[in-house]
Chains A and B, each alone.
Chain A
Amino acid sequence: MKTKTTRRTHLKVLGATLGGAGFLKAVAPLAQWTGDLDLDGFLQNHYKELGPDELASVLARHEEACKADYGADVEIRDVRPTPGVVFGYALNLSICNGCRKCAEACHQENNHDRASHQSYIRVFEMQKGSMDFEHGDAGYDHAVPAKDKFYMPVQCQQCENAPCVKVCPVEATWQESDGIVVVDYDWCIGCRYCEAACPYHARRFNWHKPEIPAEEVNPDQAYLSNRIRPQGVIEKCTFCLHRTREGRLPACLEACPTGSRVFGNMLDPDSEIRWILENKRVFVLKEELGTKPRFFYFFDE
């Protein structure tokens, strides 16, 4: 009886030791991961709750981190919306030729991951006679424009009634006063509910830490737009707010060789976008969903 009890105790001790060792082995990678996290980042508040001093130190910390991680000297600014401005975007499907220069410009301007060749714009080759994406193809690989096809670039529609904003459990994404839907990359928990909610496939997730060679990093960055995103968070098109809020045009528009893209302040009666909206028969994607996009399409003829 005595020996049986001792053997049992020995077995228990052995089991507990093995179990403990196995546990430590299993969580070992996490130790490395928590080592990479810094306390300031962990405790950082939501963008809207940052005071001017806090925000300045957050921006400085991110600039240093970019230097350390990517070897690039960058300037990260906080660019706020201008009162009395609501941005709109229109795209002329009669002249878009499907060259995908816009998607490439987006890739570079917004410091996208090089490995996945990410971009906020997908260009669909569509069958003439149908507006149904069922007959579209985003993976075409031939000279453009092809016969009997037209081309439909799709990016974030900056919906007035945005399903993605509604579903976010932590208010990490919201609509600014100029209509641009932004993400606080430092607040997003990475649940991807917004990605499921978006009817336009406009959101992207950082499945890995983005890879960009130092010389290719665009140093002109903003906190809410094109700064290099952390791993495990959602990102999306911001109408290049670091450019457009300072009077410049979005990178995709500047890159377009056909002139099919029109961008501007919809509240300005003299703007080109206003002229398009007033004089062309524009339409929006999936109007029946009631999302009220601020991205419009039209044909010339």
Chain B
Amino acid sequence: MSRPDHTQSYPRFLWRCVLSSLEGNGYYFAWMGGLFVLMLIGLDAFSGQTVEGMGVTAMSDHVSWGIYIANLTYFVGLAAGGVMMVIPAYLYKDHEMHKVVLAGEFLAIAAIVVALGFVAVDIGRPDRFWHIIPGIGRFNWPMSMLTWDVIVLSGYLLFNLHVAGYLLYTRFIGEQPSARFYVPVVLLSIVWAVSIHTVTAFLYSGLGGRPFWNTAILAPRFIASAFVTGPAFILLALQIVRRVTDFDMGVGPLRTLVAIMRVTAIVNLFLMLSEVFTLFYTGGAHAVGARYLYLGIDGHDALVPWIWSSMALNFTSAVLFVFSGVRKHRFRVNVACVFALVGIWIEKGMGLIVPGFVPSTLHEIVEYVPNLVEWKVSIGLWALGLMIYTIGAKLSVAVYTGAERLKPASNPDTDDNASSTKASTP
């Protein structure tokens, strides 16, 4: 076979990517249509917020960051967790993992897009976004941790887009991927994955005026929980892919993911307990945010039921991971993943951001509970992320099963049929 002309085949690849996302069976359209509607609801709420001002949210000068920044934190973790597919595949040469490694790459891509979306909806002047672009605006680097976050998040997005795109494209044109074009980027992205969540932790832990965040253990805690949520999300996604497609991945990758989570879920609990011990045994001003979070202060206890649910979910999921096998206890493993995703969303979301502000730096207690606008915007962005991930997964399955490939002089009709029967058989 002669080498394909990339100027011809690459646009064709991109065009097939677009078409592939617009094809599928009834279930696919129902799923994507539902997500699209949710996204529109979020977009509508965001438009209203932009016109009326951030005052339509439940945030205030006392609690000036809320569910948006909570979600930003969580999704950066999810993106970093995607690397837990990449490490076994590339550092430990796990061949079965190689087959499904794109599930991690696309999680990174979708989660970073969602994280950046949560930044965009949180800033009061989205029209001035260009002020933060290096070279055009004024980029307060290296002093501001937020500029570091811009660099690491956009870098991580680009690396993963490159690797995922390159692997899919070479498969599409029927060539072996050439290691020098992507393996260095993969190795860099492993380090980078740790950096995105570390920098995000430094964003908070560097603030001396907020004792609840001002702890050196914050970055390690972020990494530990990211390495639970990332594998948990991927495991659930792979279970779904196994059900709705005929893509044969074997049970090996799932087993590896559970093995990872057995360790990371316990490390996450251990770090949390270390923090809680230090805060409560010492007491004093440093512990006051934690007291609000876990016990409530003077009858102000909006977060107390949440954090205890989170503790129960995280603990149960850790126990389930330890005592379940992928093949024997599929349901139990899936439940553990859902518990871990929800438990850590609470812990690394609202449970992290809000106690930083309650009580305030001058010890005033103003509580915060997200309102309908914030929920709509958040759900809209989650839906956007799921749409991106679904398209990525569908595309990967189609390319890896050979349903989507470059065919010389192929006729679009047969192409259509090939992909819809192969890729989306329920």
Q: Do A and B come from one complex?
A: yes
Binding site for B on A (CB under 8 A): 12, 15, 19, 22-23, 25-30, 32-34, 37, 42, 46, 122, 124, 132-134, 136, 138, 154, 163, 166-172, 187-193, 195-201, 203-209, 230-233, 286, 289-291
Contact A201 to B362, CB < 8 A, known contacts A22-B40, A188-B125, A192-B65: yes
**Residue ID in chain A nearest B22 by CB atoms:** A12
Contact B55 A207 (CB under 8 A): yes
| Cβ-based interface call for B144 (8 A) | yes
* B414 smallest CB distance to A (angstroms): 14
Residues of B within 8 A of A154 (CB): 362
| Cβ-based interface call for B90 (8 A) | no
| Cβ-based interface call for B208 (8 A) | yes
Given contacts A191-B124, A197-B207, A209-B53, 12 further A-B contacts (CB under 8 A): A12-B22, A28-B47, A122-B362, A166-B144, A169-B139, A187-B128, A188-B124, A189-B131, A199-B208, A201-B362, A206-B124, A208-B52
| Cβ-based interface call for B127 (8 A) | yes
* B145 smallest CB distance to A (angstroms): 7
A267–B146 alpha-carbon span in the complex (Å): 35
Chain B, interface size: which category?
Answer: 35 or more
Could you give 28 example pairs across A and B, Cβ below 8 Å?
A12-B22, A22-B36, A23-B43, A27-B47, A33-B47, A42-B127, A46-B131, A132-B363, A136-B363, A167-B143, A169-B132, A170-B132, A170-B137, A188-B124, A189-B124, A189-B125, A189-B131, A189-B132, A191-B119, A192-B64, A197-B209, A200-B361, A200-B362, A203-B61, A204-B61, A205-B54, A206-B53, A207-B53
| Cβ-based interface call for B280 (8 A) | no
Give B47-72 interface residues, CB cut-off 8 Å to A.
47-48, 50-55, 59-62, 64-65
Contact mask B281-299 → A, CB, 8 Å, 1/0? 0000100100000000000
A286–B211 alpha-carbon span in the complex (Å): 12
**Residue ID in chain A nearest B23 by CB atoms:** A12
A290–B44 alpha-carbon span in the complex (Å): 44
Contact A172 to B131, CB < 8 A, known contacts A29-B48, A192-B65, A233-B125: yes
**Residue ID in chain B nearest A115 by CB atoms:** B55
Residues of B within 8 A of A28 (CB): 47
Contact B209 A199 (CB under 8 A): yes
**Residue ID in chain B nearest A29 by CB atoms:** B47
Binding site for A on B (CB under 8 A): 22, 29, 33, 36-37, 40-41, 43-44, 47-48, 50-55, 59-62, 64-65, 119, 122-125, 127-129, 131-132, 137-140, 143-147, 150, 203, 206-210, 285, 288, 356-357, 359-364
Contact A187 B131 (CB under 8 A): yes
Q: Lowest 7 A-B CB distances belong to which pairs?
A: A190-B124, A232-B124, A199-B209, A207-B55, A169-B146, A133-B363, A26-B44
Contact B51 A30 (CB under 8 A): yes
Contact B137 A30 (CB under 8 A): no
Residues of B within 8 A of A171 (CB): 138, 140
Residues of A within 8 A of B123 (CB): 189-191, 232
Residues of A within 8 A of B62 (CB): 201
Task: Pick the residue among A15, A134, A170 that contacts B131 (CB under 8 A).
Answer: A170
Contact B125 A196 (CB under 8 A): no
A233–B126 alpha-carbon span in the complex (Å): 11
Contact A167 to B64, CB < 8 A, known contacts A30-B47, A189-B125: no
**Residue ID in chain A nearest B146 by CB atoms:** A169
* B133 smallest CB distance to A (angstroms): 10
Residues of B within 8 A of A172 (CB): 131, 138
Contact B40 A15 (CB under 8 A): no
Contact A30 B127 (CB under 8 A): no
Contact A232 B140 (CB under 8 A): no
Residues of A within 8 A of B207 (CB): 163, 167, 196-197
A168–B144 alpha-carbon span in the complex (Å): 6
**Residue ID in chain A nearest B143 by CB atoms:** A166
A133–B285 alpha-carbon span in the complex (Å): 10
* A161 smallest CB distance to B (angstroms): 10
Residues of A within 8 A of B362 (CB): 122, 124, 133, 136, 138, 154, 200-201
Residues of A within 8 A of B127 (CB): 34, 37, 42
* A119 smallest CB distance to B (angstroms): 11
A198–B362 alpha-carbon span in the complex (Å): 10
Contact A32 to B363, CB < 8 A, known contacts A26-B40, A26-B44, A172-B131: no
* B203 smallest CB distance to A (angstroms): 8
Query: Which of B62, B122, B146 has the largest number of chain A CB atoms within 10 A?
Result: B146
Contact A25 to B360, CB < 8 A, known contacts A195-B61, A205-B64: no
